[in-house]
Amino acid sequence: MIQHPPIVVRQQISLKPYHTFGMEVKARDFAELSHEQELPAMLKLISQYQGPVLLMGGGSNMLFTKDFEGLVVKISTRGIEIVEEDEDFVYVRGMAGENWDDFVQFCVSRNLGGLENLSLIPGNVGSSPIQNIGAYGVEIRDSFYMLDAISLRTGEFREFFAGECDFGYRHSIFKGELKGKYLILSVTFRLKRNPVLNTSYGAIASELEANGETPSVKSVAAAVCRIRRSKLPDPEETGNAGSFFKNPVIGEQQFLELKQQYPAIASYPADGGVKLAAGWLIEQCGWKGFREGDAGVHDKQALVLVNYGNATGTRIYSLALKIIESVKEKFGVQLEPEVNIY
Ligand code: FAD
Ligand code: NAP
Whole-angstrom distance, CA of residue 128 vs CA of residue 99: 10
Q: pLDDT > 70: what percent of the chain?
A: 99
From 116, 128, 143, 170, the catalytic residue: 170
Mean pLDDT to the nearest integer, 54-80: 98
Is 338 annotated in the active site?
yes
> Is 207 one of the annotated active-site residues of the chain?
no
> Does residue 296 line the site of ligand 1, with CB under 6 A?
no
Q: Inform me whether the pLDDT recorded for 264 exceeds 70.
A: yes
Take atom 33 of ligand 2 and give the residue whose Cα is closest: 135
At residue 271, the pLDDT reads 82
Q: Give burial (CB, 10 Å; 0-12/13-18/19+) of 110.
A: middle
Residues 191-207, mean pLDDT to the nearest whole number: 93
One-letter amino acid identity for 83? Answer: V
Picking from 123, 140, 119, the residue whose alpha carbon sits closest to that of residue 226 is: 119
Please tell me the predicted confidence (pLDDT) of residue 314: 97
Is any atom of ligand 1 closer than 6 Å to the C-beta of 303?
no
Instruction: Please state, rounded to an integer, the average pLDDT across all residues of the chain.
Output: 96
Residue 1 has pLDDT above 60, yes or no: no
pLDDT value of position 306: 98
Other C-beta atoms within 10 Å of 217: how many? Answer: 21
Other beta carbons less than 10 A from residue 89's beta carbon: 18
Each residue of 230-265: b (16+ CB within 10 Å) or e? eebbebeebbbbbbbbbbbbbeeeebeebeeeeeeb
pLDDT over 70 (residue 249): yes
Torsion angle of C-alpha atoms 278, 128, 313, 153, degrees rounded to 10: 130
Residue 167 confidence (pLDDT): 96
What integer is the mean pLDDT of 95-115? Answer: 98
What single letter denotes the amino acid at residue 327? V
Q: Which amino acid is at 204?
A: I
Q: How far is CA 266 from CA 113, 281, 324, in A?
A: 29, 8, 18
- Which residue's CA is the nearest one to ligand 2's atom 18? 201
Q: Indicate if ligand 2 lies below 6 Å from the C-beta of 301.
A: yes
Looking at the CA of residue 228, tell me the nearest atom of ligand 2: 26
Question: All domains of the chain, ordered by start, with CATH?
Answer: 10-75 (3.30.43.10), 80-230 (3.30.465.10), 234-341 (3.90.78.10)
Mean pLDDT of 70-97: 98
